[in-house]
Amino acid sequence: MYNVYPSIKKTISNFSTGRYGVISPFDSFETTCKTYPDSIAVVFQKRLFTYRELYDKCMSISQLLDQAGVKANTVVAVSMQRSMEMIASILAIMHRKAVFLLLDINQPKRRLQAIISQSKPECILSCNLAGSIQAVPTGEQTPHVFQTAIAYLGFTSGSTGKPKGVAITEASLANCIHYFPDIFGLQPGDRITSFLNCSFDMFIFETVVSLCRGLTIIMSDREESASPRRMLKLIRDNSVSIGHFVPSTLQMLVNCDPHFESLLTLKKIILAGENLSKTLLCSLFEHLNVDIYNAYGLTETTIYSTFCKLKYGEAPLIGTALPGNQIYILDENNQPVECGKTGHIYISGISLYETRLDTQEDKDLLIYHEKKLYNTGDMGLLHESGDIEFLGRQDRQIKLRGYRIHLSEIEHVAADMAGVDNTVANIYKRPSGESTLCLFYTSKYSLNADDIRKHIGNRLPKYMVPVCYIQIASFDYLSNGKLNCRSPKLERLFKERWS
């Protein structure tokens, strides 16, 4: 942690105090259920579930948690496939005033074990083939018991080779529930997509936030989430009005439906998770009659921290701060930059995480008069309007299809394989425009790329497993003796491979 100069206050973009009253996230959901009991809450695998049915399922699971002895402020993990039961389990944990942790059961066992070891849940909710929910105690001798009301735990890729977790407060989630629907113009009865992986915090926007405001969730199953054509069919068949996408996913849908015929029901599109290209933005405006929003945030700052309603012909800015948050643009000396200058993006406010499960990672915080500022690792440019333009990463962290990835984590895991010496992971674009993870490595031996792929796949999620593997004789080095991860030679070798 470092101190920040008092003049930092000049860099606030759209300062707002925000509001968090007495209405908790679960109380918001319960109010919605009483107001719209017979409205459709979830559509999944062609089955329709009303708010009354979802609430009843939630209460049933809550009773199960009570019988399992789950206490307030302790962690309950949810380990099940995408389903209505998964959503009901989240709500039931919120009802018990416990902390939910969503586990992607398709991730490698070793990574899941690392997450469970760090989060120390009191029990794990699972669902058998018959659809019955089970609350299985973990036997954890010292489960986490938070002193502050925590809503959920979020995990991201860690630079040390291990996932890193943060605790997000109930107040922060309530702030999102209060403001997001008004910011994005969401109305009860709107139909919103839910195509994202549950380990991705944008999933909480699609589910918890949407349900607290009376929306209908059109939820894909695992197979549908992997197929652009099936996602398009869900949008078309269910007359989806709110599209919530990572830009690269929407680009895949557009490539699959170049005439936009399956997207004509959309009235609003919310994009987040990675950089939005001006080309895609212009194409959307030219083919659809929609409002388009660009959102920006991190797991550490509760889903989204900034938002911008985009206009045709203008750059896809990330906008201004969500009420309750402050955005700072600072230079290398932690001083505010002038408008029109670039700097590092810092976030402060109600949406900032309460604590890290690994306190060693708090090096990303700055402290100013007891206020925490989080270094996002991103670069931004502050416009005269107060809107922020996203300029990319300042380190070895990238986003691929919406997932935040530390390239050093991939390098660390790959280098742990017998026979591998040095490694560099980079992301490049193929001639088709598709972003591709590539691993370069040196070795005394002629190693099989499939063996390296299998080694990484056993320890990291699928989205972190490189597609391309290139063995080279040696790496280039910088004048300070560090390995040159951005050497032009590496990009040239990649282009030769994919030419």
| Residue 361, pLDDT score | 55
47 Ramachandran zone, left/alpha/beta (phi>0; psi -120 to 50): beta
C-alpha span between 443 and 250 (Å, rounded): 39
R_g (Cα) of the chain, nearest Å: 23
User: What is the Cα–Cα distance from 462 to 136, expressed in whole angstroms?
Assistant: 27
Q: For residue 244, what is the DSSP state?
A: E
Give pLDDT, residue 481.
Answer: 52
Residue 36 phi/psi, 5° resolution? -125, 55
Q: What are the tokens at 337?
A: 């930059």
- pLDDT by 10s per residue, the chain, length 499: 333 333 333 344 443 334 445 489 999 999 999 999 999 999 999 999 999 999 999 999 999 999 999 999 999 999 999 999 999 999 999 999 999 999 999 888 999 999 999 999 999 999 987 778 999 999 888 888 999 999 999 998 766 668 889 999 999 999 999 999 999 999 999 999 999 999 889 999 999 999 999 999 999 999 999 899 999 999 999 999 999 999 888 988 998 999 999 999 999 999 998 888 888 898 999 999 999 999 999 999 999 999 999 999 888 999 999 999 999 999 888 888 888 888 899 999 999 999 988 766 577 888 766 778 999 988 888 888 889 988 877 777 788 888 878 888 898 888 888 888 888 999 998 887 788 999 999 888 899 999 999 999 998 999 999 999 999 998 887 654 567 888 999 999 999 987 6
| Measured CA distances, 228 to 220, 235, 254 (Å) | 11, 11, 9
At position 34, the amino acid (one-letter code) is K
pTM to 2 decimal places: 0.84
Residue linked to tokens 């989240």: 90
CB atoms within 10 A of CB 19: 12
Compute the distance between CA of residue 296 and CA of residue 317 in angstroms, rounded to an integer.
9
The number of angstroms, rounded, from the C-alpha of 424 to the middle of its chain's C-alpha atoms is 24
pLDDT at 40: 98
Q: Which residues pair with 49 in a beta bridge?
A: 42
Q: How far apart are CA 103 and CA 117, in angstroms?
A: 13
Q: Which of 490, 499, 485, 488 is nearest to 471 (CA)?
A: 490
- DSSP letter at 86 equals H
**Both tokens of residue 79?**
């380990």
Pairing type for strands 355-356 and 325-330 reads unpaired
Between vectors from CA 379 to CA 373 and to CA 383, what angle results, nearest 5°? Answer: 95
CA–CA distance, 196 with 206 (Å, rounded to integer): 8
Question: How high is the pLDDT of residue 17?
Answer: 38
